[in-house]
């Protein structure tokens, strides 16, 4: 799964990396992005890529209220075509979710506490998570509000799939990370062939990522700052409830 990630790069740098327009609204850098936060996505209208802030947690158009998005931060690659909440977006509203890296938690033998691990691009660039987006219209909004562009919520979800060899010992799923060669196909608003799209949803090569243990400070979403990315010795030990360091 992907429940926490890092989005600390400046928006103009993200735009350059993805060959996209800079967003009109800039988000604060975050080293501990959590579900329901606003995040950047890269979308395309067929001619121009745009970096846009949206709500993390997909809210389908048919939802009664936005809270349903709290349960839709991730979408499984193998069920996109069969889930009513995700299929319309899979067909028509795909995006990339830029990230400097993501966190996962590794079980420590004999311990209740898990070891947080930061997983990041080996080349120092950005991850391009495969994502879906949607627009929800507030049923209580007036026609005038909708006409003025209000009463709408744009939201996204991150697609997860099988892990590569580096992530598999930590978790049985990981975000689908699309290579640059797949961006145009994934973002093409005229492409609706689900079989073609599904072929893109494979695990990134293990060689494309690096990872290292980080502080358990990241466990608390209130903690932030670049120090969260600093490598630390991994937890170890076999005494339940008593973690030691290598």
Q: In which residue are the tokens 């121009």 written?
A: 48
From residue 70, give the alpha-carbon distance in Å to each of 59, 186, 227.
8, 25, 28
Return left, alpha or beta for 12; rule: phi > 0 is left, psi -120 to 50 is alpha, else beta: alpha
Q: What is the phi/psi pair of residue 183, to 5°?
A: -60, -50
Buried residues in 4-37 as b, exposed as e (16+ CB within 10 A): bbbbbbebeebbebbebeebeeeeebbbbbebeb
For residues 94 and 200, what is the distance between their CA atoms, to the nearest angstrom?
12
What are the two backbone dihedrals, phi and then psi, of residue 101, each rounded to the nearest 5 degrees?
Answer: 160, 180
Bridge partner residues of 213 (DSSP)? 117
d(CA 27, CA 23): 9
CA-CA-CA-CA torsion sign (228, 231, 237, 242): negative
Residue 98 burial class via C-beta count within 10 angstroms: exposed 0-12, middle 13-18, buried 19 and up: buried
Q: How far apart are CA 129 and CA 119, in angstroms?
A: 13
Structure tokens at 219: 């466990």
| Residues designated catalytic | 2, 104
Q: For residues 134 and 67, what is the distance between their CA atoms, to the nearest angstrom?
A: 14
């Amino acid at each position: 799964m992907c429940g926490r990630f890092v989005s600390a790069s400046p928006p103009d740098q993200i735009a350059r990396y993805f060959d996209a327009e800079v967003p009109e609204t800039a988000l604060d850098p975050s080293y501990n992005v959590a579900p329901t936060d606003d995040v950047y996505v890269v979308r395309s209208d067929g001619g121009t890529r745009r970096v846009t802030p949206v709500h993390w947690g997909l809210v389908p158009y048919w939802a009664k209220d936005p809270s349903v998005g709290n349960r839709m931060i991730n979408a499984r690659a193998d069920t996109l075509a069969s889930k009513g909440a995700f299929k319309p977006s899979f067909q028509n509203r795909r995006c990339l979710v830029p990230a400097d890296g993501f966190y996962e938690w590794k079980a420590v033998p004999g311990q209740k506490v898990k070891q947080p691990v930061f997983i990041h691009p080996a080349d120092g660039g950005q991850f391009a998570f495969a994502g879906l987006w949607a627009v929800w219209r507030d049923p209580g909004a007036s026609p005038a509000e909708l006409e003025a562009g209000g009463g709408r919520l744009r939201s996204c979800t991150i697609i997860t799939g099988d892990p590569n060899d580096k992530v598999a010992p930590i978790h049985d799923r990981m975000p689908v990370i699309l290579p640059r060669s797949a961006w145009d196909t994934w973002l093409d608003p005229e492409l609706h062939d689900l079989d073609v799209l599904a072929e893109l949803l494979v695990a990134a090569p293990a060689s494309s990522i690096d990872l290292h243990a980080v502080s358990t400070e990241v466990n608390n979403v209130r903690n932030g700052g670049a120090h969260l990315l600093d490598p630390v010795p991994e937890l170890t030990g076999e005494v339940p409830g008593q973690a030691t360091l290598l």
